[in-house]
A and B are shown apart, each in its own frame.
Chain A
Amino acid sequence: MTADADVNTSPALAPDGLVMGKDGLAALVDVLIRHGFTVVGPTVRDGVIVLAELRSADELPYGWGVELEAGRYRLRERTDGAAFAHAAGPQSWKPFLHPPRVRQWSADRTEDGLVLTADQPAPPRCAFLGVRPCDLRAIAVQDRVLTGGAYRDPGYEGRRSGALLIVVECTEPGATCFCVSMDTGPAAGPGYDLVMTEVVDEYGHRFWIRSGSPEGSAILAELPTRPADPETREAARAGVADAADRMGRTMPEADLRELMAGTLDAPRWDDVAGRCLTCGNCTMVCPTCFCTTTEDVTDLTGDHAERWQLWDSCFDLDFSQLHGGPVRASSRGRYRQWMTHKLGTWYDQFGSSGCVGCGRCIVWCPVGIDITEEAAALHDWTHSRAPDEGSGPP
C-alpha cells in the first residue's frame, strides 16, 4: 500500500487533505507516542481544561466546552461530544516551551577549583495536540523574541526545535476571544506540522486534516484516513467562518500602536490602576509575555551555587528596580507598561503585535480587567477631545 500512502501524505498530492474519525485521533496519539513524542494536549483537571501530558486520546475533553467572561471560567457540558470545542484555557503552551523555572547552571567549589556545570538536559520531544490558531501565532511571536535576535535562549531553542505543532482550528470561540481583531484566527496561519478542523454533524464526528511539513506528512501516513470529501471540507470551512462571526470581543478599529503612543496621559490609566491588583496574573497567562528574572542561590556551606531563571512580570515592583528605587513605582505606570508593550512598543521591538487576541488576560484577571475594554476607552478618549484640542498649547 506504499503507493496509496504516498498519495495520501504528500501535501502537494493531497491538496484537499484527508478525513479521519475519532479512531484517527486515537491513532494519532498512539503514533506520536510510538515516535517518541511526549504528547501534550487538553484534558479536564481541577474543573478546567488544562494542557497536560496525554497517554491516550481518551483523556481529551470530549463533550466539554467552556463559558468564559472577564475574571470567570466555567466548564460546560456539550451534547455533541466534540473534543476541541473550547477556547483558550488557563495555560498556553508557554509553560512547556518557556517554563516558569529553569536551572541554567550550577557551580561547585572543589579541591581542584571551581567547577561550573551548565544545565542542558536534552528536552523531551513534545507533540502539542490542539494548538489554537492564536496560540500558533503566539509561538511565532515568542520565537522572534527568544530566538530571533541577538539574545537567544538556548533552552527555548532546544525545546522549540523538537516540538511538533498540531493545530486545531477554532469553531467555538469564547466570549473573551478577539483573534479576528488581531488577525491570528480562527483559521490557522502558517507554521504547523498538522492542522485539523473538527466537524460534528448528522454525518458523524470527524476531522479534516492537512499536513504542513514533511514530519507532519509522515505522521499522517500512519493514520486511518480517507480522502477528504467536499461535504466535510465545506462543513469545516463553514464552521471556521462562522466562528469568525461570533467573536466575543473586538479591539477598536484603529492603529493600536498609534493609539497607545497617543494616549500615555489619558485619565483612563488612573481608572484602571484603581482596579488593578498588580498581581501579575495577566502576564503569566499571556502566551507571548517572555520576561524572566535571575535567581542565584547558594547553599549553607557556600560551596555550591545555582543560577535559576524564573518568570518575572512588569507588575512586580522589583522588575524596574534600579539604584534608588523602582522606575515604575505606581500601579498606573505598571499597567500602562503592560498594555502599551503588548499593543504598541512590541512593534518597535519585534515588528509585530505582542497580543494575539487569545483573551486569557481577560479571563484570568481576578478582577476582570479587559484589555479590549481599556483599549476602547482610550480610543473613545482620543475621539472625545475636540480636534483642535490636545495638539499644541492653546
Chain B
Amino acid sequence: MATEPAPPSPDLRPTLAVWKFASCDGCQLTLLDCEDELLGLADRVRIDHFLEMTSAEGGADGQRGRLEGRGPYDLSLVEGSITTTDDAERIRHVRRVSRYVVTIGACATAGGIQALCDFADIEEFLAAVYARPEYISTLETSTPISAHVPVDFELRGCPIDRRQLLEVITAYLAGRKPRIPSHSVCFECKRRGTTCITVAHGTPCLGPVTHAGCGAICPAYGRGCYGCFGPSNQPNLRSMVAQLHHDGMSERDIQRVFRTFNATSPEHAPVPELAAEECHSSRTGTEIRPERPA
C-alpha cells in the first residue's frame, strides 16, 4: 500500500504587498535594487502583491491583472500620492487588508513633486498639457497617504534609501521599532567626515533642516542638500532662510528650493513669508544672521 503523501506544510511566512499610487516607481525599484538581500527577503516573507515584479493576481492567461490584491497582508509598502478619487478609494482598501501600512518616499509621505499642483490652477495645467483634457479625471491636489488613512510608519526620501528600507522591513518582521532617526542631515555629514560646504565654500545647503537618511550624499559631492528627505524634527526655518539668503539665494530661489519633493510638508508652509521678510528687509544683514567682517 503506497503511503499517503504528507500534506504540504502551511506557508507561515508573513505576507508583503507593494502598492503604487501617483509616483515614478523609483521607490519600488529601490526594493528591487536590494539585490543581495532580495533572496533572503523572499525566504522570510511571501511577496504577494508587487506589480513591479510580478503580474497581478488573476493576471494569467492574458487577462488584465486586477489592480486590487485581496489580502490580507502583514505589511503593505505604499508608494505614491493620492491624486484621483479612484485612488482615494483604493488606499482605503489597502488599509483594510493590511496589518501594517508603511509609506515609502516623498510622494506617499508628503504628496511628492506633483503636489506643486496644489499651488496652481489644475484646469490651466490640464489645458496646457493634454490635447483632450476632458479625458483626464484628477483631484485638484496631490495628498499624502496619511491624509486618507492611518499610517504606521512613513519612510522619507526621493527616492528612499535602500538600507533604510531594509531596516524598516526587518524591524516589522522582528516586531520592533525601526531605527530611523529624525535629526538633521548634518549629523550624517559630520559622521561621514565630509567638510561642510556651507562653511568652507559658502554653498547654500538645506542639510541643517532636512531629515537624515540619505547618508549626506550631496555634500559629499560638493553640492548643497536640496531637502529630498523633507523636514527634520523641529526645523528652524527662520534661521535657515536667513542663512540661505546670506549664502546668496534670492527670495525666489529660497521659495523654490523648499518647493520641490516635499512642497506641501506643513513644516515648509511659513517659508514664503519668511523668505519675503528676510529678503525685503532693508537691512544688509539680519539680526538672525548678521554680516560678519570679511
Q: A: which residues have CB within 8 A of B?
A: 45-48, 50, 69-74, 90-91, 95, 100-101, 274-281, 284-285, 295-302, 310-311, 313, 315-318, 331, 363-368
Contact = CB atoms under 8 A, between A and B. Distances in A.
8 contacts: A47-B201, A278-B234, A295-B179, A299-B170, A300-B37, A301-B44, A316-B183, A367-B239
Given A275-B239, A285-B190, A311-B191, A301 B40 contact: yes
Contacts of A311: 187, 190-191
Contacts of A297: 167, 179
A368 B200 contact: no
Contacts of B222: 46
Given A100-B193, A331-B234, A318 B183 contact: yes
B190 A277 contact: no
Interface in B34-77: 37, 40-41, 43-44
Nearest to B205: A366
B242 to A, nearest CB: 7
Contacts of A50: 195
B183 A317 contact: yes
A302 B173 contact: yes
A89 to B, nearest CB: 9
Contacts of A367: 208, 239, 242-243, 288-289
B240 interface: yes
Interface of B: 37, 40-41, 43-44, 166-167, 169-170, 173-174, 179, 181-184, 186-187, 190-193, 195-196, 198-202, 205, 207-209, 222, 233-236, 238-240, 242-243, 288-289, 292-294
Contacts of A298: 170, 174
B243 A366 contact: yes
Contact of A331 (B198, B236, B294): B236
B208 A318 contact: no
Secondary structure of the B contact surface, majority rule: helix
A284 B188 CA distance: 10
Contacts of A318: 181-183
A276 B170 CA distance: 35
Which 4 A-B pairs rank lowest in CB-CB distance, beginning with the nearest? A284-B190, A279-B208, A100-B191, A277-B208
A299 B44 CA distance: 11
Given A281-B196, A316-B181, A368-B289, A100 B174 contact: no
A45 B195 CA distance: 9
A47 B196 contact: no
B236 A300 contact: no
Residue in A101, A297, A331 with the greatest tally of chain B CB atoms within 10 Å: A297
B186 A275 contact: no
A271 to B, nearest CB: 9
Nearest to A326: B233
B183 A276 contact: no
B19 to A, nearest CB: 21
A284 B43 contact: no
Contacts of B288: 274-275, 367
Nearest to A363: B199
Given A279-B184, A367-B242, A368-B292, A299 B199 contact: no
A222 to B, nearest CB: 32
A349 B93 CA distance: 57
